[in-house]
Structure formats: C-alpha cells, structure tokens
Amino acid sequence: MATLSRYETGVNSADESSSKRSGGPKSRKQKREEAEERNRKKAEDAGLDGSARHAMSDFQLNRLYQETEISIFEAEEEYSALESQIANQTLYEDALQARVVTSRLHEQQTRLKALYETWELIAEERESRQRTSE
C-alpha cells in the first residue's frame, strides 16, 4: 500500500499543524469556557484575591465584571436545561445518557460556584474603589 505525500494529498504542513493545535473548529461553549478561564486569570493576576487590588484600571474591572455576569447568565441557562433533562423520566431509560447529563450537571455546579466567587471578588473591588473615590 503506497502512502501519499503531503504534496499529493494537498495538505501542507501549516494546515496540519494548525489542525493539531486547535483540534478543529471550536464550539460556542468551548470559546466561552476559554474566555472564562482568561477572565479568571485576569482577576487572579490583578490581585482580586487580595494581593495587588489596584493593578486593573476601572475600565478593565468594569469590563471583567460585565463579562463575568454574562458567563454566569449563560452557565445558569445551561444548568437549567440540564436540570430539565434530569427531571425527565425518559432520560433514565438510557443509563449512559443519564450519567453524561448528571456529570455535566455537576460540572455546571462547579463552574457556577467559581463564577460566583469571581463575581463577588470583582464586586467587592468595585465597591472599595467607589468608597475611596467619594
């Protein structure tokens, strides 16, 4: 059995390496999760956990606050959809599907908890800045 070269198949090394890195097109959920991770890292880097609270500008802090609220809203919608699936008795006819949905529900709970904690830290920092500016 002969193997075709990249030239013969029409695949170049740039196409091949980019597909390996990205794993193909990203879903909206994947993009949102990556954005949440970036936001969480920004909050940590800015010292919203208590170390260097004034590293972010007010604009950046407000933007992070809004992005976190959007993430919370989307995560709550996903959580509600999963709860609806769990409440449907027909789900339990397929044990594998029931485990998948239950697992996703637990993941959403963890995600929501982290988002709420981040949101609270950002809100506290915003309030602190408002008090000091008055």
pLDDT per position as a tens digit, 4-53: 444 444 444 444 444 334 567 888 788 777 777 777 676 665 555 554 45
Report the greatest alpha carbon distance in the chain. 78
CA distance 40 to 56: 13
Structure pTM? 0.63
pLDDT per position as a tens digit, 68-125: 999 999 999 999 999 999 999 999 999 999 999 999 999 999 999 999 999 999 999 9
User: Is the domain defined by 27-133 classed in CATH 1.10.287?
Assistant: yes
DSSP string, 41-102: HHHHHTTTTSS-TTSS-HHHHHHHHHHHHHHHHHHHHHHHHHHHHHH-GGGGGSHHHHHHHH
